[in-house]
Amino acid sequence: MGVSMLAAGPARAGGRPILGPRDGGLPSGPVLADFTAVERLLLDAARRAVVPGWVALILRFSAFPPPGPRTYHLSVARSLLEDAVHRHGGQVFAMRNGDLVLLAGTAVLTAPLPAHGGAAPGETLPDLLLRLFRADCAAPERLIGILTLPDARERLLTYASERLGDIGGTATGDQPRMPIADSRSLTSVAPGPLPDLLHRQTAVLIGSEGARLRPLFREVMSTNAALEAEAGDTPIEPDPFLLHHYAARLERRVAAALPTEIGRSGALDPALAPPLHVNISPAGINSDAFLELAAITHAAGLLLGAEIPLTDAVADPAGLELARARLAREDIAYVIDEVSHLALTMTELGALGASLYKLAWSPRIETLAGAERQALDGAIHALGAGRLAVTGADSEAALHWGLARGIRRFQGRHVDAMLAAARLTVCPAAAACTLRQCQERASAVAPAGRHGCANTALLDAGMPTGAP
């Protein structure tokens, strides 16, 4: 098949529905031998777009907000466009920059989708696309361009020329812009001493006037490097379940390693320090190693907290029940971690009975509007802002958002910087340190990471007593 297929008009029913690189066996016709022709074919089709009654629907995945579209955004959109072609005729062009262009009759925009019992009554293809992308994109309408032909023919020509220009007009066999991986990939890292691969971060309570900070607890967490070291030489493809597997293995090692770090005048010693929180699953809490950790921290006068990821709590209800009983018996704080704003609105978290729920900050939260924003605000009110902490507070925006809703507990890199600044104002040895150094040393668990600090008592306390 070549350009001649499009000679009669921009596109026509019954033709090959998808033109462009394929991403994994989607139902489509024969693959063009020369993928690079796609941008040129679109340009040719735009030049011939002089017949009324046609539209170009452009899905601008290249403009998807960071971190970019996921694989399924593209494949599902492509499947929906192809389905539209089957019903109304037309053609889909898959651009190398990730964009998809549908050239079809105007009915493709206006005809209601088949009801099937699931689609909203009267919903059209653009409506559905907008609805689908809304979960990941604050302004999905910016992703969808509709050009009515032939009036907007010049704009389509410009768009097609730009796409051809993107690839220099002559590129051959280039791959399309890849969507982001559904999960980060692991690489092989030589295993080192575990404490070197651990990290700690202090959560704070911000006073009602917004000025005073009070350290609440120090969370000890595994770094990505620790997870990667756990994977060793095993070749791994990006997969959340594999990451969970390695996290569970690592959790056992951390629980076994922590007791040796306590009582050695190191980062986990109790002097003036806020309670210690560990990330752990219900199975980990029910293990002997955790009991030993609890006994050692108790003997050292250190208060302990257990942070259970929401997914683990839901996956193992029987284990959670036992774990809760053990935490209550041992007087250990019970925290639910890794709660997304969607989880907050779609679940009744209070049923888990934790003393604190850690809401993972995302810039998407700030952009919620209408019903979504109301639902989130309602969920915060129902759970109680006092039982929530915002984590990943790496910017001032997270603090502003939380404080505006009565949330006063925060954790994140912005908080780290605030604590470091407060320490530097009172530390007699501050002249030798930068803010960044103080911040990094406070996050280290291993002695090597704290090297250079002449006031580790203040470093471990998180915040000088009585400081504003």
- The residues binding other proteins (CB under 8 A) are 23-27, 70-73, 75-76, 79-80, 82-83, 113-119, 123, 128, 131-133, 135-136, 182, 231, 234, 236, 239-242, 244-245, 248, 286, 310-312, 314-319, 322, 340, 342-343, 345-349, 351-352
Full 3-state SS string of 19-46: ECCCCCCCCCCCCCCCCCHHHHHHHHHH
**Distance of closest approach, residue 234 Cβ to other proteins, in angstroms:** 5
Q: Rounded distance, CA 462 to CA 215, Å?
A: 6
Q: Rounded distance, CA 4 to CA 15, Å?
A: 12
Q: Rounded distance, CA 268 to CA 281, Å?
A: 21
Q: Which is nearer to other proteins, 153 or 341 (CB)?
A: 341
**Distance of closest approach, residue 468 Cβ to other proteins, in angstroms:** 38
Q: Which is nearer to other proteins, 316 or 377 (CB)?
A: 316
Q: Which is nearer to other proteins, 39 or 312 (CB)?
A: 312
In a 3-state reduction of DSSP, which class is residue 93?
strand
**Distance of closest approach, residue 21 Cβ to other proteins, in angstroms:** 14
Q: Which is nearer to other proteins, 106 or 340 (CB)?
A: 340
**Distance of closest approach, residue 74 Cβ to other proteins, in angstroms:** 10
**Distance of closest approach, residue 430 Cβ to other proteins, in angstroms:** 43
Q: Which is nearer to other proteins, 336 or 420 (CB)?
A: 336
**Distance of closest approach, residue 322 Cβ to other proteins, in angstroms:** 7
**Distance of closest approach, residue 453 Cβ to other proteins, in angstroms:** 38
Q: Which is nearer to other proteins, 262 or 339 (CB)?
A: 339
| Apex 219 CA angle, 215 and 222, nearest 5 | 155
Q: Rounded distance, CA 289 to CA 398, Å?
A: 36
**Distance of closest approach, residue 223 Cβ to other proteins, in angstroms:** 20
**Distance of closest approach, residue 337 Cβ to other proteins, in angstroms:** 12
Q: Which is nearer to other proteins, 287 or 443 (CB)?
A: 287
Q: Which of 400, 439, 441 is nearest to 420 (CA)?
A: 439
Decide if 293 contacts 264 (C-beta within 8 A).
Answer: no
**Distance of closest approach, residue 193 Cβ to other proteins, in angstroms:** 23
Element (H, E) at 370: helix 370-383
Tokens of residue 286, six digits: 């029910």
In the β-sheet with 144-149, what is the strand arrangement from edge to edge? 18-19, 91-94, 100-105, 54-59, 144-149
Q: Which is nearer to other proteins, 218 or 326 (CB)?
A: 326
Q: Which is nearer to other proteins, 129 or 333 (CB)?
A: 129
Decide if 17 contacts 29 (C-beta within 8 A).
Answer: yes
**Distance of closest approach, residue 46 Cβ to other proteins, in angstroms:** 28
Decide if 336 contacts 348 (C-beta within 8 A).
Answer: no
Q: Which is nearer to other proteins, 14 or 241 (CB)?
A: 241
Q: Rounded distance, CA 424 to CA 455, Å?
A: 10
Burial 314-327 (b: 16+ CB within 10 A, else e): eebeebbeebbebb
Q: Which residues, other chains included, contact 81 with Cβ-Cβ below 8 Å and sequence gap of 6+?
A: 57, 59, 92, 100, 102, 125
Q: Burial level of 81, CB count in 10 A (0-12/13-18/19+)?
A: buried
Q: Report the 10 Å Cβ neighbour count for 426.
A: 14
Q: Which is nearer to other proteins, 82 or 261 (CB)?
A: 82
Q: Which is nearer to other proteins, 4 or 241 (CB)?
A: 241
In a 3-state reduction of DSSP, which class is residue 193?
coil
Distance of CA 344 to the CA centre of its chain: 15
**Distance of closest approach, residue 282 Cβ to other proteins, in angstroms:** 10
Q: Rounded distance, CA 356 to CA 409, Å?
A: 10
